[in-house]
């Protein structure tokens, strides 16, 4: 009797070549941006280790230091203005990231995406590890750590426009919200893994909290170089320079001003500014807040903060599903943002497990939807008349504007938190409300279209 082909082999051989490349691109870009976010997270975990209240800690007998209160702090973060200094480090990264993002999309449209991503990840690994090496080299200079943060912020801008452009090259508009909602969970997965990895070393040797994530993103950079297929055109074997000349003959890369004129780009860009302000304030300050309010140690606070990112995974997927079903991207964002305001308010007394999950879903859901499906929709908008070379630029504009908010949030948190954590949460609630107001015109337009379809 002739044996039948194994079911798994039948499934594998039934898939087309395009399906394989599409799936492979989805998995690889997921891993790449997971590594980007994984390498950003350690700074928030290590903050509570760099400045601790050591008055209740028994000092080792071999440590010849007279000040029992601050002996375990890491200079220069052993001063009373340590929150301000942490805010400086956050903003060195975030401001550099915001400025660099506006240029990154332009480079992404004109350079091979595979090589662009590879170089970006290798450099990100280098600068992440250099921050951690400050522990072993006994560096106590704020200038050193600030410089590393600036350089890391610049090189990390290579990631987002490039991976979104790769996804846009392989996936059309059908169910784009759901696919990209699932795919965008890499942000939260990276934050969770970054928290757990950094937390594993923070109490014993915080330098490894940066060096290990740096090694991981370096490894994914090598994976990108050897395996990424960034578009169908790269399968032809034609040299990139020839492909670029042929493509340029068909489509001129859109200008910065031209991208701004695409309907909806400005509204979603400024909405994302306030949405990322909230999200990144949680990203950079939530572990320290939990440590201060709930009196957890650095590892426990980092582990608890991952609940916010777990909620973000669910929120991103739900936002994509709902917006695909309704066809109303702006309205989906508006409802989630306005609901997020009271959830953020509930965190101001003491963080609770269930509320952290719900808050993460409502805060990160709109953020995920705007940076993925909305950016991809606008980058292939009908007003472009088929020009396929706008996606990276549009993505960079939207995320670059959002990154201004990502820089402002932690900065404001550092300035406001000495007056009380409640004031930080009032600032976050105000940002959510402003994000909703900026989408009002688009929401009104979507409601009119919905009413028109029902009448028809």
**What pLDDT is recorded for position 171?**
73
In 3D, which of 41, 89, 35 has the Cα closest to residue 198?
41
**What pLDDT is recorded for position 4?**
65
In a domain, 71, yes or no: no
Using CA atoms, how far apart are residues 206 and 49, in angstroms rounded to an integer? 8
In a domain, 240, yes or no: no
In a domain, 245, yes or no: no
Q: For residue 20, what are the contacts with CB-CB under 8 A and spacing of at least 6?
A: none
In a domain, 242, yes or no: no
Using CA atoms, how far apart are residues 351 and 348, in angstroms rounded to an integer? 7
DSSP 316: H
Instruction: Give DSSP secondary structure letters for 359-406.
Output: HHHHHHHHHHHIIIIIHHHHHT-GGGTT--S-HHHHHHHHHHHHHHHH
Q: For residue 355, what are the contacts with CB-CB under 8 A and spacing of at least 6?
A: 343, 346, 347
DSSP 15: S
pLDDT confidence of 125, banded at 50, 70, 90? Answer: very high
Q: Report the chain's mean pLDDT, rounded to a whole number.
A: 81
Least confident of 11-20, 157-166, 216-225: 11-20
Is residue 208's pLDDT more than 90? Answer: yes
**What pLDDT is recorded for position 2?**
53
Domain tally, the chain: 1
In 3D, which of 90, 72, 292 has the Cα closest to residue 204?
72
| Whether the Cβ atoms of residue 138 and residue 73 lie closer than 8 Å to each other | no
pLDDT digits (tens, 9 = 90+) for 51-110: 875 544 444 444 444 444 444 678 888 888 887 888 889 889 988 998 898 888 778 777
| Whether the Cβ atoms of residue 425 and residue 347 lie closer than 8 Å to each other | yes
In a domain, 258, yes or no: yes
Residue scoring higher pLDDT (242 or 313): 313
**What pLDDT is recorded for position 53?**
58
In a domain, 18, yes or no: no
Is residue 423's pLDDT more than 60? Answer: yes
Residue scoring higher pLDDT (237 or 8): 8
Coil, strand or helix at 77: coil
Least confident of 6-15, 134-143, 414-423: 6-15
Instruction: Give DSSP secondary structure letters for 169-215.
Output: HH--STTHHHHHHHHTTHHHHHHHHHHHHHHHHTTT-TTHHHHHHHH
**What pLDDT is recorded for position 71?**
47
Is residue 302's pLDDT more than 70? Answer: yes
pLDDT confidence of 5, banded at 50, 70, 90? Answer: low
In 3D, which of 192, 160, 449 has the Cα closest to residue 314?
192
In a domain, 7, yes or no: no
The residue length of the chain stands at 456
pLDDT confidence of 39, banded at 50, 70, 90? Answer: very high
Using CA atoms, how far apart are residues 145 and 352, in angstroms rounded to an integer? 33
**What pLDDT is recorded for position 3?**
55
Cα 169 to chain centroid, rounded: 21
Percentage of the chain modeled with pLDDT above 70: 81
Q: Which range marks the domain in which residue 422 is found?
A: 24-48+80-231+253-455
Is residue 252's pLDDT more than 80? Answer: no
CATH code of residue 122: 1.20.1250.20
In a domain, 153, yes or no: yes
């Amino acid at each position: 009797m002739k044996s039948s082909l194994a079911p798994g082999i039948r499934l594998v051989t039934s898939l087309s070549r395009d399906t394989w490349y599409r799936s492979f691109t989805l998995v690889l870009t997921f891993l790449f941006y997971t590594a980007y976010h994984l390498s950003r997270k350690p700074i928030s975990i290590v903050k509570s280790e760099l400045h601790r209240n050591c008055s209740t800690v028994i000092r080792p007998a071999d440590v010849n230091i007279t000040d029992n209160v601050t002996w375990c702090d890491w200079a220069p973060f052993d001063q009373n203005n340590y929150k301000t200094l942490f805010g400086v480090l956050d903003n060195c990264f975030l401001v550099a990231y915001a400025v660099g993002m506006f240029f990154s999309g332009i480079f992404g449209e004109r350079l091979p995406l595979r090589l662009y991503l590879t170089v970006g990840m290798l450099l990100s690994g280098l600068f992440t590890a250099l921050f951690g090496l400050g522990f072993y080299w006994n560096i106590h200079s704020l200038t050193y750590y600030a410089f590393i943060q600036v350089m890391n912020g610049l090189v990390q801008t290579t990631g987002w426009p490039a991976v979104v452009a790769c996804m846009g090259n392989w996936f059309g508009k059908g169910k784009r919200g759901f696919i990209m909602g699932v795919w965008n969970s890499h942000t939260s997965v990276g934050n969770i893994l970054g928290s757990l990895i950094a937390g594993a070393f923070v109490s014993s040797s915080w330098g490894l909290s940066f060096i290990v994530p740096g090694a991981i993103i370096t490894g994914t950079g090598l994976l990108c170089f050897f395996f990424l297929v960034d578009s169908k055109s790269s399968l032809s074997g034609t040299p990139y320079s020839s492909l670029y000349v042929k493509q340029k003959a068909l489509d001129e890369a859109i200008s910065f001003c031209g991208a701004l004129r695409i309907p909806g780009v400005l509204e979603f860009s400024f909405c994302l500014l306030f949405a990322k302000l909230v999200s990144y304030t949680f990203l950079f300050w939530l572990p320290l807040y939990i440590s201060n309010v709930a009196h957890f140690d650095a590892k426990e606070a980092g582990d608890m903060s991952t609940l916010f990112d777990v909620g973000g995974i669910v929120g991103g997927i739900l936002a994509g599903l709902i917006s695909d079903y309704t066809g109303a991207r702006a309205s989906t964002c508006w409802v989630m943002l306005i609901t997020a305001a009271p959830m953020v308010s509930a965190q101001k007394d003491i963080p609770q497990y269930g509320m952290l999950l719900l808050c993460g879903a409502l805060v990160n859901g709109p953020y995920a939807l705007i940076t993925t499906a909305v950016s991809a929709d606008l980058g292939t908008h009908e007003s472009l008349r088929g020009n396929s070379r706008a996606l990276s630029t549009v993505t960079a504009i939207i995320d670059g504007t959002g990154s201004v908010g990502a820089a402002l949030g932690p900065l404001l948190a550092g300035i406001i938190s000495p007056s009380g954590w409640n004031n930080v949460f009032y600032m976050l609630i105000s940002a959510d409300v402003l994000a909703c107001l900026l989408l009002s015109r688009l929401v009104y337009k979507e409601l009119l279209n919905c009413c028109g379809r029902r009448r028809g």
